[in-house]
Each structure stands twice: as C-alpha cells, then as structure tokens.
Amino acid sequence: MKRVAVFASGSGSNFESLVEASRQSNLGYEVVLLVTDRLDAYALERASRLNIPTKSFAPKAYATKGEYEIAILTILKQFKIDWIALAGYMRLVGSTLLEPYQQRIVNIHPSLLPHFPGKDAIGQALKAEVAQTGVTVHYIDEGIDTGPVISQEIVAVRPEDTYETLQKRIKQVEHHIYPKTLAKIMREDELNVSKTRVN
C-alpha cells in the first residue's frame, strides 16, 4: 500500500475524493497526510472530519523557497511518504521536492493540457469560447502544468455555461478521474518494483 501525501491550498474537495475513494475500494494507496501552504485552508477542516493528520507551512515564515520545501520534506520523511498528489496546491514545486520525488508527484488541472495552463483555467476556457475543455492528471516538472500527461477527460462547454456551472461539471469529473488515475499509477509502480526485485 503506497503512502500518499496530498498538498492543497484551498477547499480540498479533490483531497476528500481521494481519501473517500481509497477507503471504499482497494486502490493501492492510502492518504496519510494533508499538507497546506495556508493556515486557513478549508481542506484542513475536511482532514479533521476524515481523521487525516495535517501539517501547514506558511511560506513567508521561511527565508527562501528551499528552506520552505526542506521543512516539508522533513515531514514527508517522518510520514514515510511514497507519492505526492497535488490537489489545488497553488505553488510551483521546486527542486528540493522534485529531486527526491522524481516522477512521484502528480497534479490535477481543470483543462485539457497543454491548453489553458496556470491559474483560472476555467475562466480562460470561457474567454476563449471553446466548445470543450476538460481535466488532466499529469506528472509535475519544473514548469507550470508542463509535466507529462497521464490521463484526460473531456468536458463540453455549453453555450449557456457560467463559470459556476462549468466548474461544477469539471469538479464532478475531477472527483472520479483523480482516484482512478492514482490507482492506475500505484498498480504500475508496484509492478515495476516487483520486476526490479525479480531482476
């Protein structure tokens, strides 16, 4: 069973969907920690309700980004974290975390990457008047939503859509695609580990 830390900055609905899905089915992972960069993130309340340990780090309390991430890395080691799942974490991950967790940090983004990367992907899609957008789960690298795509699902943009209605449908897709994709990655990771042992 892979030990996962979820990073969030806001509401934490994807965090909750990952936890609930793993508890309802054997998906090969267990969410054992929530990390936030905001002390007032609503995700912390969800974690309390779900009995998931939390750690909050205020970036301004650290002199550099490196020091901030070293503090996080120390906690990840204490919790023996295998994988990191970003879920509305509004910070670029730096080399301090990328190097020890290479190809083991995933993110969910509300668009069909490479379209509409960065902030407010839903607003970008509406402004561009596209016929469809969607959801992407991808690996993290040094760029802004530039890592390799793992899975995607299309969400149609309706003529009558408002930001709220489109966001609601995208969230529904996020809540099923993220746990499903994470489970797939965990199975593949376990197979790779098994092959390495055999070899």
Catalytic residue numbers?
Answer: 109
Where are the alpha helices (H) located in 51-104, listed in sequence order? 65-78, 95-98
Q: Give CA–CA dist 135/157, Å, rounded.
A: 12
- Residue 55: beta bridge partners? 35
Other CB atoms within 10 A of residue 119 CB? 10
- Residue 34: beta bridge partners? 6, 54
**Exposed/middle/buried for residue 180 (C-beta within 10 Å: 0-12, 13-18, 19+):** middle
